[in-house]
Homo-oligomer: A and B are copies of this chain.
Amino acid sequence: MNFNLTKELITNISIKLKKNELGVIKKMMAGYHPADIASIIHKLDSHNRNTLFQIFSSEKSAEILLELEDEVQNYILKNLSSKEIAEKLIENLESDDATNIISKLSLTKKKEVLSHIEDVDQAKNIKSLLTYDENSAGSLMAKELIKVNINWTVLRCVREMRKQTKNIDKVYSIYVVDNQNKLLGTLSLKKLLMADESEIIKQIYNSKIFYVSENINREKVSIMIEKYDLVVIPVVDNLGRLIGRITIDDVVDVIKEEAMEDYNMASGISETVKSNDNIATITRARIPWLIIGLFGGIIGAEIIGFFDLKKNIELAFFTPLIAAMGGNVGVQSAAIIVQGLASNSIELESITKKLFKELLVALVNSIICCLLVIVITYLLGYSSNIYLTVSLSLMVVIIFASIFGTSIPLILHKYNIDPALATGPFITTVNDILGLYIYFLIGNYFLK
Which residues of A pack against B, CB within 8 Å?
A: 1-2, 5, 7, 10, 31, 33, 35, 43, 158, 161-162, 165, 168, 170-172, 188-190, 193-194, 208-211, 226-231, 247-249, 252, 255-256, 259-260, 262-264, 266-269, 273-276, 279, 282-283, 286-287, 289-291, 293-294, 296-298, 300-302, 304-305, 309-310, 313-314, 316-325, 327-329, 331-332, 334-337, 339-340, 343, 345-349, 354, 357, 360-361, 364-365, 368-369, 372-373, 376-377, 380, 398, 423, 428-429, 432, 436
Contact = CB atoms under 8 A, between A and B. Distances in A.
Q: Quick one: which of A231, A263, A287 has the most chain B CB within 10 A?
A: A263
B314 A313 contact: no
Nearest to A258: B259
Contacts of A329: 286, 290
The binding surface of chain A is classed by DSSP as: helix
Contact of A162 (B158, B193, B336): B193
A158 B337 CA distance: 51
Given A210-B1, A248-B252, A361-B283, A320 B319 contact: yes
A354 B279 CA distance: 11
A238 to B, nearest CB: 14
B249 A252 contact: no
Contacts of A323: 320, 323-324
8 closest residue pairs by CB, A with B: A297-B321, A267-B335, A275-B340, A259-B259, A301-B317, A316-B316, A320-B323, A229-B249
Contact of A349 (B229, B259, B276, B286): B276
A206 to B, nearest CB: 11
A428 B293 CA distance: 14
Nearest to A329: B290
A309 B313 contact: yes
B335 A282 contact: no
Contact of A252 (B172, B209, B252, B334): B252
B294 A320 contact: no
A320 B290 contact: no
B273 A263 contact: no
Given A171-B190, A302-B380, A227 B364 contact: no
Given A276-B349, A283-B361, A304-B320, 18 more contacts: A5-B348, A162-B194, A170-B188, A172-B231, A229-B249, A259-B259, A263-B266, A264-B335, A266-B267, A275-B340, A283-B365, A286-B329, A291-B368, A293-B321, A298-B376, A298-B380, A320-B320, A323-B324
Contacts of A193: 158, 161-162, 165
A276 B324 contact: no
Given A248-B248, A289-B332, A309-B313, A337 B275 contact: yes
Given A259-B256, A266-B267, A274-B339, A304 B286 contact: no
A424 to B, nearest CB: 9
A18 to B, nearest CB: 19
Contacts of A209: 1
A371 to B, nearest CB: 11
B348 A43 contact: yes
A290 B35 CA distance: 43
Q: Quick one: which of A229, A282, A320 has the most chain B CB within 10 A?
A: A320
